[in-house]
Amino acid sequence: MRLPEEFSFNCPLKINCGSHAVAHLPAALSAANAHAPLILANRDQVGKKGLNTVVDAFKTSGLTLGIYDRLPDLPEPDLMPVLARMYRDGGCDSVIAVGNGSVVDTAKCLNLMVSAGDHGASADCGNCMDKPSVLRPLMVVATAGGNGDEVTGYANDGVHRLRSSRLVPAAVFIDPAMLGDQDDHQVVDGALIALTHAVETFIDASTGPMCRAYAHTAIGLIVKFLPLVLRKTDRKKNLCAVVNGQVAAGCAFSASPPGICHVLATQFKESTDLSLGFLMSILLPHLVAEAGLVQPEQVGELLYPMVGPDIFSVTAADLKTSRTTVLIWEFFDAINTELVQKIPTSLMGAGLTDEQINRIQSRVGRGATNGHVARIIDSARQDPDMTAGW
């Protein structure tokens, strides 16, 4: 195990997982000295049954609830002052986000606004970032289709991408009852984003052992259970495992800088309708292959969470890196077998032109990583040799 000379890791998140996990919400709030939560949700995302499951957890608690279940699909800055007034007029002292994506982003931004003392006069949550204060308790009830960003210190207020360790929720609740029928494409996209974040964190030489432990857990859970989810085998149980993997990936991602795949895919997303997770997946095998040339021992360690200790221990050291790359191709192949909309095998297969690819490369590939970025992009530009992988 390698140990960087300097690293930092902080994970204040509490994870509650299992059947009837949401039933522990009242106790968790009471432990945080909170007694009047505002529940935020998107009714189309979570469904009436899911929202009722959360509300029913409070039937005998004696706590006062506020509920707003009409959040839009994307964060809307103009909505923040309205929610802030609702929060204060209702005497609320905490926030519960039921769902993923923009629901949790909105909850984080609202919590930042009301905790910082902004009385709803400004919808720009970015103005609150520099005001030191302790945020109110924020709980997240996870649903299928997230990507791990929900438990990070990142949030999108509709205008800015905010980052602060104070934005990390106090707790996340992963309950099979909340993991209803989600679109396979959305589930896969979120899982692929989380997997890419975990892999990039795992091979980052600057991350510490605790951060890599979370990434290790995330990789193992997603690689093992995502194909089972798509095969509809004990779906809710396997979805629960995938969501746990996404949460673990989010914890790791919070403590590490965004990697090359994340940065490139975010840039490529501006030029294609392909989802972010699918773009990351196009790049990921090529990133692993490139990293294997520079740090073969670290990349070889990726094999462990993918195959387990028995196979890892009997695999020759000089074969671990190449085997890891092949397994990533095979994992994506297994996913594609179950999907209607396949993960493209190249950037050009994703509809990107040479001009678009070159423009992004010139924008991102600067400094010490320029050579690595160029080789990853060139390798991912066109379909790979089918005899060597996918």
Q: How far apart are CA 162 and CA 108, in angstroms?
A: 10
Is the model's pLDDT at 5 over the cut of 90? no
Local structure of 297: helix, strand or coil: helix
pLDDT in tens, 150-172: 999 999 998 889 998 889 999 99
| Integer Cα distance of 245 and 219 in angstroms | 7
Task: Give the model confidence (pLDDT) of 133-147 as tens digits.
Answer: 679 999 999 999 999
Distance CA 319, CA 193 (A): 27
**pLDDT value at residue 324:** 95
What's the CA gap between 260 and 365, in Å, rounded? Answer: 9
Give dist(CA 344, CA 29) in Å, integer.
Answer: 44
Residues 361, 22: Cα–Cα separation, whole Å: 45
Query: Is residue 143 a contact partner of residue 133, using CB atoms and an 8 Å limit?
Result: no
> 286 with 324: CB under 8 angstroms?
no
Q: Which of 75-84, 133-142, 301-310, 369-378 has the lowest mean pLDDT?
A: 369-378
Which tokens in the block code for residue 111?
Answer: 């919590």
Average pLDDT score over residue span 104-109:
96
Residue 192, both tokens:
């692929």
Across the chain, mean pLDDT equals 90
pLDDT tens, residue by residue, 296-332: 998 999 999 999 999 999 999 999 999 999 999 999 9
Please indicate whether residue 271 or residue 181 has the higher confidence score (pLDDT): 271
At what angle are helices 184-202 and 260-268 packed, to 10 degrees?
A: 140
β-strands 94-98, 138-141: how paired? parallel
CA atoms of 206 and 109, how far apart (whole Å): 30
Domains 14-178 and 184-381 fall in the same CATH topology: no
Nearest alpha-carbon partner for 259 in 280, 277, 237: 280
Q: Which of 193, 179, 186 minimizes the C-alpha distance to 240? A: 179
d(CA 34, CA 114): 14
**CATH class held by domain 14-178:** alpha beta
Domain 184-381, what fold?
A: Dehydroquinate synthase-like, alpha domain (1.20.1090)
How confident is the model over 202-217, as a mean pLDDT? 92
Quote the crossing angle between the two packed helices 370-381 and 354-364, to the nearest 10°. 160
pLDDT one-digit tens code per residue, 110-137: 999 998 764 444 444 555 554 556 799 9
Work out whether strand 154-156 and strand 161-163 pair parallel, antiparallel, or are unpaired: antiparallel
The residue extents of the domains of the chain are 14-178, 184-381
- The full DSSP string for 341-380 is SPPPSSTGGGT--HHHHHHHHHHH--GGGHHHHHHHHHHH
